[in-house]
């Protein structure tokens, strides 16, 4: 029988990877037991510290993926280590049948630092968006008298992998082979106020049908495409005019990544509902749906989550949120993001045949390839990996940069040098 000590000391060996000195991780053993729902890079990461990770061969990488905008404090941050240790020794899980003080403390932090009044906790961004869709449907039924409520979402959006959230996602590639999809969604182009107003008028022509508009403040998977201030102000006006809920999916941009606590703060508006996950727990699985009291329509028994908001994840997430303030990480995200974009723009100028622009907010940035470029974003990501820099695509034409919010100026300079070397080799 495998002991806990053996498991912690050498998980690769314990799980049949056949690891011996100099032999390394065997992906064929992994793939024989794990479903192939991911297209994995040939890299087995085993350790991390700060903004760096190491593979099973001891090679070091500068991590500008951060679990895809998730590891807010990087890897093995002392405050997270302490929070995890203290909470797991005290109480890790109880049912939401009882009051959970850690959950209440985290909810208080979130509401005091946002326009929301109430919070529902779950485990992921997809679950947070599922909760928001349910809330919108009940709001449509009970507050607007709609028999079959419709939620408007944007093309090129991404809201999750459940049936409802892939239907909400305005990208057919995620919906292929999963029909019949969930009814009640309508898509419009992002940042197009005329198209949105026209859709509302058409759907509501014979009476109210639209219950909510679900948008990302910045489209992450859709190409790191920031929302336009004028557009979102118009969206807010249309929602107020028609008593429609404005739901903002902040799963990728919330909790300080844009240089502000929330992405909507870059747009000069307030949503009615906010969904968040990823960076909230710094890497422990937690999501949340936050709403104003005016649309807090879900009652006892109408929505739930077994693990949602348990003492362990809430204790750790609260430590992450408090560190966001105590270490001034939002200011760092803003400064390091500006430094990174300036470096990416120099790369655009140096290789106009490859790159079109660099865009983003804070520490979520995209390097956009030309439509005629002979490369894809995946080509850039693979080349950067060979130079010791981890990046992630955001579609076939955009390379995404989402490092931990603790990233330093020296880290950014090093990342740009590694990227430049990779691009030079490819070109």
Q: Is 249 part of any known ligand binding site?
A: yes
Instruction: Write down the pLDDT at residue 176.
Output: 94
Q: Is residue 45 part of a domain?
A: no
Q: Which residues are marked as active site?
A: 158, 249, 278
Which of 236, 188, 239, 249 lies closest to 210 in space, CA to CA? 239
Contact in structure between 114 and 262 (CB atoms under 8 Å):
yes
Contact in structure between 100 and 317 (CB atoms under 8 Å):
no
Q: Is 250 part of any known ligand binding site?
A: yes
Same-domain check for residues 323 and 338: no
- The CATH number linked to 105 is 3.40.640.10
Q: Is residue 22 part of a domain?
A: no
User: What are the pLDDT digits (tens) for 159-197?
Assistant: 999 999 999 999 999 999 999 999 999 999 999 999 999
Same-domain check for residues 156 and 209: yes
Instruction: Write down the pLDDT at residue 1.
Output: 44
Q: Is 306 part of any known ligand binding site?
A: yes
Torsion-angle region of residue 243: left (phi > 0), alpha (psi -120 to 50) or beta? left
Same-domain check for residues 305 and 420: no
Q: Is 305 part of any known ligand binding site?
A: yes
CA dist list (Å): 313 to 181, 185, 254, 296, 317: 32, 32, 17, 23, 6
Instruction: Write down the pLDDT at residue 27.
Output: 87
Tell me which residues of the chain have a pLDDT lower than 70.
Answer: 1-24
Q: Is 125 part of any known ligand binding site?
A: yes
Instruction: Write down the pLDDT at residue 12.
Output: 52
CA 307, distance to chain mean position in Å, is: 20
Q: Is 234 part of any known ligand binding site?
A: no
Q: Is 236 part of any known ligand binding site?
A: no
Domain edge (last residue) among 301, 327, 353: 327
Q: Is 420 part of any known ligand binding site?
A: no
Same-domain check for residues 200 and 321: yes
Same-domain check for residues 342 and 288: no
CA atoms within 13 Å, Cβ hemisphere of 294: 10
Q: Which domain holds residue 351?
A: 50-76+329-426
Instruction: Write down the pLDDT at residue 26.
Output: 85
Q: Is residue 314 part of a domain?
A: yes
Same-domain check for residues 397 and 339: yes
- The CATH number linked to 407 is 3.90.1150.10
* DSSP character string of 315-358: HHHHHHHHHHHHTTHHHHHHHHHHHHHHHHHHHHHH-TTTEEEE
Same-domain check for residues 352 and 265: no
Same-domain check for residues 313 and 249: yes
Same-domain check for residues 158 and 263: yes
Same-domain check for residues 119 and 263: yes
Same-domain check for residues 323 and 221: yes
User: What are the pLDDT digits (tens) for 329-379?
Assistant: 999 999 999 999 999 999 999 999 999 999 999 999 999 999 988 999 999
Domain count, the chain: 2
Domain edge (last residue) among 327, 344, 373: 327
Q: Is residue 297 part of a domain?
A: yes
Domain edge (last residue) among 285, 304, 327: 327
Same-domain check for residues 396 and 354: yes
């Amino acid at each position: 029988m495998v002991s806990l000590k053996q498991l912690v000391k050498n998980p690769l060996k314990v799980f049949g990877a056949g690891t011996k000195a100099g032999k390394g991780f065997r992906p064929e053993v992994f793939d024989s037991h794990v479903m192939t729902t991911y297209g994995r890079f040939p890299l087995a990461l085993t350790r991390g510290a700060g903004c760096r990770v190491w593979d099973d061969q001891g090679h070091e990488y500068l991590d500008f993926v951060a679990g895809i905008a998730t590891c807010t404090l990087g890897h093995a941050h002392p405050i997270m280590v302490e929070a995890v240790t203290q909470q797991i020794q005290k109480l890790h899980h109880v049912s939401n049948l009882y009051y959970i003080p850690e959950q209440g403390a985290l909810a208080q932090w979130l509401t005091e630092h946002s326009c929301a009044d109430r919070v529902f906790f779950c485990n992921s961004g997809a679950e947070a968006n599922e909760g928001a869709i349910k809330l919108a449907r009940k709001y449509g039924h009970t507050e607007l008298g709609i028999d079959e409520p419709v939620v408007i979402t944007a093309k090129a959006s991404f809201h999750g992998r459940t049936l409802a959230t892939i239907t909400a996602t305005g990208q057919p590639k995620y919906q292929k082979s999963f029909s019949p999809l969930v009814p009640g969604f309508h898509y419009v182009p992002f940042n197009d106020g005329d198209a949105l107003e026209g859709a509302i008028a058409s759907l509501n022509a014979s009476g109210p049908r639209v219950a909510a508009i679900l948008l990302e403040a910045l489209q992450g998977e859709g190409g790191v495409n920031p929302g336009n201030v004028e557009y979102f102000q118009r969206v807010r006006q249309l929602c107020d005019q028609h008593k429609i809920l404005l739901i903002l999916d902040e799963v990728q941009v919330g909790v300080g990544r844009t240089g502000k606590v929330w992405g909507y703060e870059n747009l000069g508006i307030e949503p009615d509902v906010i969904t968040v996950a990823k960076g909230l727990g710094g890497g422990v699985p937690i999501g949340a749906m936050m709403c104003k009291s005016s649309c807090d329509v879900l009652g006892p028994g109408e929505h739930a989550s077994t693990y949602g908001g348990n003492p362990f994840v809430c204790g750790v997430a609260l430590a992450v949120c408090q560190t966001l303030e105590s270490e001034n990480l939002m200011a760092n995200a803003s400064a390091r993001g500006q430094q990174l974009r300036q470096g990416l723009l120099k790369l655009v100028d140096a290789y106009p045949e490859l790159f079109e622009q660099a865009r983003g907010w804070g520490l979520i940035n995209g390097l956009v390839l030309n439509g005629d470029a002979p490369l894809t974003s995946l080509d850039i990501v693979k080349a950067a990996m060979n130079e010791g820099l981890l990046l992630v695509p955001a579609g076939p034409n955009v390379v995404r940069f989402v490092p931990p919010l603790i990233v330093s100026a020296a880290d950014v300079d090093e990342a740009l040098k590694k990227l430049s070397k990779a691009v030079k080799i490819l070109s």
